[in-house]
Amino acid sequence: MQKKKIYQSFLLVCFVAVLLVGFSSVLFQNQPVATASGADHITLTWAGDPRTTQTITWRTEVTTAAGQVQYAEVTESKLLPNAAKIAIAEVEQLFTNMGSMSIHSATLTGLKPNTRYKYQVGDGSLWSEPRTFLTAPSKVSGFKFLVFGDSQSINYNTWRATVQQAYQANPDAAFFTNVGDLVDVGQDYAQWNAWFDGSKGVIDTISAMPLTGNHENYTPERKFSMPIFFTAQFKVPMNGPENLKRQVYSFDYGDVHFIMLDSQAGEEASFVPSMLEMQKTWLEKDLENTTKKWKVVFSHRPLYNNKSGGEGENVRRAFVPILDKYQVDVVFTGHDHVYARTYPLKNDGLVDKLTKGTVYVATGRSGSKTYNDTIHKEWNEFFYNPVDEPNYITVEVQGDVLGVKAYKQSGVQIDAWTIDKKATGSK
């Protein structure tokens, strides 16, 4: 009898042990895998000149000690040389619904143009795996960049597949942008975890220069907030209007002047009541001061939408007269989750030459969310609703020619068109 009880006890212990092992396996499978340095969400942006600077931002657990970037020109060795330079990051605390964390950011300066650098981030003793980036040439003869429509999702595997496929097909892209609504709930850090995880391998190799959408202003309770998580993580130029720093900004690459606007007048009304008026003043001055051949603008909400209603009228009234005055070439927008482009427009009317007006391009969607209530409008020369699969856009600038191509995630081409400043129309 005693032996039987001992045997039963032994079986019970074995059963509990199996349960604990199984539970531990499931538990750890759901935990994020930390690097040796404890750093993740490693992100490249430009806060300064793309030819001679590179800004690198990453996340760690809460610490008051600033992280470091170790960097050097690429050589044959897989390791960074002993003579590698060190840049000390600034560190700030970010308080989220997933707990507190530290955001580290350092801008490398005095870099050589058109040079590939190897870098790693860490605390001075533990380092991430080395990655690389390429500075812009001192004189850019031509370049390509990627544009992604709204990536907001419930499951960010769609975004992962889109951004990874786009970069694999275009490894020569100088940078990428996302036109807002990167995530569905901007103040829910779980979604940022998923977004950054899907971007890994791209966002740490080429610069990301995104803008905010209305969903960056949402809290998990569906209340409005300023896009705090966005501005904490994307260290873009601080040259925008007061109270809209890193939400509104401009930068140059080659002979193109890029402008990122904030169209969330409704969501941010209680925080920055005059945000459209502030941007109008800033936009006029910014465009007045550029001498670049090409002027490209981004706005999350479309100035010429593809919904049956008149959404976006306030944004159109604020910005279009200024865009017309300074002959902006292209405006890329999001929000409607369709790919569409207008005829060249000026003063709300069609003009007969691309070089006489502005083309407005709705960029589609790079995430899982689709709409079935979008329509072809009278100002559209091309319209396509990507409900079958997500899409992305490539833009190539070569001297007097700017070419745009839209692709499905699978690589099937949707559309192709160009602006030639020495010709009369599109090809």
Sequence ranges of the domains in the chain: 40-134, 142-420
- The gap between the terminal CA atoms of the chain, to the nearest Å, is 92
Predicted pLDDT of residue 308: 82
At 80 the pLDDT is 75
Question: For the domain with range 40-134, which CATH number is right: 3.30.70.20, 3.40.190.10, 2.30.110.10, 2.60.40.380?
Answer: 2.60.40.380
Residue 427 predicted with pLDDT over 50: no
Q: Which residue has the higher pLDDT, 12 or 230?
A: 230
- Residue 326 pLDDT > 90: yes
Contact (Cβ atoms closer than 8 angstroms) between residue 347 and residue 413: no
More confident residue, 31 or 130: 130
State yes or no: pLDDT of 324 exceeds 50.
yes
The residue whose two tokens read 């002979």 is: 255
The CA distance from 325 to 19, in Å, is 70
Cβ neighbours of residue 164 closer than 8 Å, sequence gap 6 or more? 198, 201, 202
CATH number assigned to the domain with residue range 142-420, chosen from the 4 options 2.40.110.10, 3.60.21.10, 3.30.420.40, 3.30.365.10: 3.60.21.10
78 pLDDT tier (thresholds 50, 70, 90): low
Which amino acid type is present at position 48?
G
Least confident of 51-55, 92-96, 272-276, 307-311: 307-311
Alpha-helical runs (H) found in 273-356 = 275-289, 313-325
Q: How far apart are alpha carbons 363 and 332 in whole angstroms?
A: 7
Q: Count the neighbouring beta carbons within 10 Å of the beta carbon of residue 422.
A: 8
Alpha helices in 55-188 (DSSP H): 157-169
Kindly report, residue by residue over 207-264, the tens digit of the pLDDT.
999 999 999 999 999 999 999 999 999 999 999 999 999 999 999 999 999 999 999 9
Q: Rounded to two decimals, what is the model's pTM?
A: 0.90
Q: What's the average model confidence in pLDDT over 129-146?
A: 96
Residues 15-62 have pLDDT tens digits of 333 333 333 222 222 333 344 568 999 999 999 999 999 999 999 999
pLDDT band at 309 (very low <50, low <70, confident <90, very high): confident
- Of the listed ranges 15-29, 109-123, 171-185, the one predicted with least confidence: 15-29
CA distance 108 to 47: 10
Pairing of strands 175-178, 207-208: parallel
The single-letter code of the amino acid at 317 is: R
Q: What percent of the chain has pLDDT over 90?
A: 84
Contacts of residue 213, defined as CB under 8 A and 6 or more positions apart, other chains included, come to: 150, 152, 179, 180, 181, 182, 264, 300, 301, 334, 335
Helix, strand, or coil (residue 404)? strand
Rounded mean pLDDT of the chain? 90
pLDDT, tens digit (0-9, with 9 covering 90-100), for 335-353: 999 999 999 999 999 998 9
**What are the angstrom distances between the C-alpha of 24 and each of 12, 29, 32, 44?**
18, 8, 14, 35
Q: Are strands 142-148 and 391-398 parallel, antiparallel or unpaired?
A: antiparallel
SS3 of 191, please?
helix
In three-state secondary structure terms, 142 is strand
Query: Which of 73-77, 161-165, 397-401 is least confident?
Result: 73-77
Q: Which residues contact 330 (CB under 8 A, 6 or more apart)?
A: 296, 297, 358, 359, 360, 361, 402, 404, 419
